[in-house]
Chain A
Amino acid sequence: GENVEQHPSTLSVQEGDSAVIKCTYSDSASNYFPWYKQELGKRPQLIIDIRSNVGEKKDQRIAVTLNKTAKHFSLHITETQPEDSAVYFCAATPGTALIFGKGTTLSVSS
C-alpha cells in the first residue's frame, strides 16, 4: 500500500520568511496530493491540492510542486505570518483513502 514520508517534523521561521515542507510517496498509482492545516483539536482544513497531471499549483502565498518521476511533492508558504502556525499534513491517494504523512509543526515567530 501507499506510504507517505514527510519532513521536517518541526519547522521554525521568522515572520516574513518562507517555509518549505517536503513529502515523498511510494505508490506510483497515487494521483491526488492534498495538503492540510490542522489546529489543535480541530478538523484538518484543505489548503491546497494537486493532481498528477499538473506539476505546480499556486494560491496566493501557498504553492505546491509535484515531481512524479521522483515521487515527491512539496508545500511552499511565502511571507509567513504568525497565523500560519499550525500542524501541516501532506497526503496521497491512488483514488480511495488518503494516506497521511506524519505532519510538520510550523511555528512562525514575530
Chain B
Amino acid sequence: GAVVSQHPSRVICKSGTSVKIECRSLDFQATTMFWYRQFPKQSLMLMATSNEGSKATYEQGVEKDKFLINHASLTLSTLTVTSAHPEDSSFYICSATDRGHEQYFGPGTRLTVT
C-alpha cells in the first residue's frame, strides 16, 4: 500500500519557539494532504486540508497564523507550529490521498512544549 512518512517522530521544544513537521508521500503523488491533532485519549481532530500549490483550508477554531501549512509539492506538506505553548503539546498526524477516498496516514509526531 501507499506509504506516508512524518519527521520528526518526536520533538521537544521550549515555549515561544517554532517547530516544523514534515509529511511526505513516498510512493505516490498526494493531491491532497490533511493535518490532524490528537490529544491523549481523544479522537483525531481535523486541523486543515491542503492541496498542492494552493492555500490550506483551516477548520473552524484553528488559528492559521499559528499553524502554518505549506504544500509545495505533490509529495511534501509541512506544518509549522509558531510560538508554541504547552497547550500545543499533542500528537500531530498527517494523511494523504491520491484522488481516491482512502487516506494514508503518517506515523505521527509527538510534540511536547516545555
Q: Which residues of A contact B (CB under 8 A)?
A: 31-32, 34, 41-44, 46, 49, 51, 89, 93, 95-103
Further 18 A-B residue pairs, CB within 8 A, beyond A41-B108, A95-B101, A102-B42: A34-B103, A42-B107, A42-B108, A43-B93, A43-B105, A43-B106, A44-B93, A44-B105, A49-B102, A89-B43, A96-B49, A97-B34, A98-B46, A100-B43, A100-B44, A100-B45, A101-B43, A103-B43
Interface on B for A, CB 8 Å cutoff?
32, 34, 42-46, 49, 91, 93, 95, 101-103, 105-108, 110
Q: Taking the nearest CB of chain B, how far is it from the CB of A109, in angstroms?
A: 20
Residues of A within 8 A of B32 (CB): 96
Q: Which A residues are CB-close (under 8 A) to B95?
A: 98
Shortest A4–chain B CB gap in Å is 9
